[in-house]
Amino acid sequence: MQTLRVVVEPHAPDHLKEVVQEGLALHNVAATGQAEYYPMSIFLRDEHEEVLGGLLGHIWGKWLFVTHLWVAECVRQRGYGTKLLLAAERYAVERGCRNVELHTFSFQARPFYERLGYEVFAALDDFPPGHTKYFLRKHLVGEAEQTRG
């Protein structure tokens, strides 16, 4: 029998992280049959190509998962967060998604997401201590549904 060790590596190189990510992805595809995966990276850039905001996530299983949405303080409250999120939703609908999921914290942007049609479906209290983590979702209306409705 092999001798295995559990090793904590806080600053592991990306190629080692990819082994774990790809292993889980292969398991998920085998279990669900859902093989289509699209990474998502959308950026807000100024005239000098400096990144002043962005949205990161991925599409898998006909769902858009938004992992990060950030806009620099100097350009907030100008609609750029909305533009980034709507661009991601359009991209997702073009790839067959019907839903989107994300999370935010009580000190972040819950009202922003709710104004854009997201609903809270779960909350984790005291994470981090003194705050709440909210899980939100939104049904995306595709073109076929728009013509029917």
Q: What's the pTM?
A: 0.87
Report pLDDT for 147. 44
Helix residue ranges, H only, 13-107: 14-32, 80-94
pLDDT, tens digit, 9 for 90 and up, residues 88-121: 999 999 999 999 999 999 999 999 999 999 999 9
64 within 8 A of 96, measured Cβ to Cβ: no
Q: Which residue has 């104004």 as its token pair?
A: 115
List b or e across 22-43, with b for residues whose CB sees 16 or more CB atoms inside 10 angstroms. eeeeeeeeeeeeeeeeeebebe
Count of structural domains within the chain: 1
**CATH number assigned to the domain comprising residue 124:** 3.40.630.30
Would 12 be classed as within a structural domain?
Answer: no
Would 17 be classed as within a structural domain?
Answer: no
**Domain range enclosing 123:** 36-148
Report pLDDT for 141. 80
Would 27 be classed as within a structural domain?
Answer: no
pLDDT, average across residues 124-139: 98
